[in-house]
Structure 1
Amino acid sequence: ITPVDRPRRFDARFFAAFAAVVVAAEPTSPVPPDNELADVRFVPLSATDGLALPRITAVMLRELGERLAADPTLTRDLAAPFYLPVGNRFRRELI
């Protein structure tokens, strides 16, 4: 994820998975920071509102919360949101 204070350098793709399925164990120590990753940690979705995040990341976390409310098992049957930058705004499409 692009740090909040850096300009967009690439297109981002967001994926969601249940941690119990994809993570063997939660890290017990912080990941050493480098030029891209710093302050790596697991944060509950309900605790992300106050975090300093790039706008599109905050939007996608909100989308995920709404999706989980409507579809708690994250089935593949529903469309996924796609945001296309148009000027200084994002246009939302479902694909």
Structure 2
Amino acid sequence: MSTVVVEPAPFAIDEPPRTNREKLRPRDASTIILLDRRDGIPRFLMGRRGGGHAFMPDVYVFPGGRRDRQDYALPFQRDLHPLVSHRLLSQTTARTRSTTARALALAAMRELQEETGLAPGTPPDLYHLRYVARAVTPPGNVRRFDTRFFLLPTDEANIATDTLRETEELQDPRWVSFSDLDDLNVPRITLAVLREVRAMLDAQPSLPYGLPVPYYFMRRGRFVRTEI
């Protein structure tokens, strides 16, 4: 797959003092784009991160967070679709196994419930998840994450859209359409991923499993986009 330089960079990069930030290794994380398309207009669940967060405070994001050790042991109904698991394992180290791919998906499901109160099954069903993007926070930020973006249609997961609750982690949860984005403070990487999702929906509304996954990361001081 071709690699292209992304201008402007989709991540805001903190400036000096950097101290030891350049040495920070990205931590595995995952986020979930909950898609409500039942009324014909795609809407996505987003909420505002609290102002006390060191990383991306006061911006609207998808539910998500870092993968914890406990996520490896969480129960589930059905596993990831094989094509999704395959993409998750692409361009990873030899030590990365299918259990890690599953733990990333379970982390996204766990964070969704913790941050919004929405529970996609008990235990969750991973089969309907699509893997739609990956992004690594560049050096120089106060936190660095290697984030996998999952997408889950609410109609496939049988999730009610009217039972949201606010939490300390994610405030003002709301369903956001593409036309609403100009009125919200949304990180550039989130906007970049939503542009990718919009293109996917326009090209293949059924969102088939195993589509190429856009991958954003820093290389030689420049932000690039490639595909997995």
The match for 2:161 is 26
- Scaled by the length of structure 1, the TM-score of the pair is 0.74
Deviation at 1:50, TM superposition (A): 3.3
Q: Which has the higher strand share?
A: 2
8 Å contact from structure 1 (residues 49, 58) kept in 2: no
Matched, 1:93 2:221: no
Deviation at 1:11, TM superposition (A): 2.6
Q: CA RMSD in A?
A: 2.6
Where does 1:71-82 land on structure 2 (aligned, <5 Å)? 71-82=204-215
8 Å contact from structure 1 (residues 32, 38) kept in 2: yes
The match for 1:44 is 177
Residues matched between the structures, number: 92
Deviations 1:40-62 (A, max 9, x none): 12222443343211111111001
Matched, 1:11 2:136: no
Higher-RCO chain (CA-CA 8 Å, sequence separation at least 6): 2
The runs of 5 or more residues in structure 1 that have no matched partner are: none
- Scaled by the length of structure 2, the TM-score of the pair is 0.35
Deviation at 1:8, TM superposition (A): 6.1
The match for 1:70 is 203
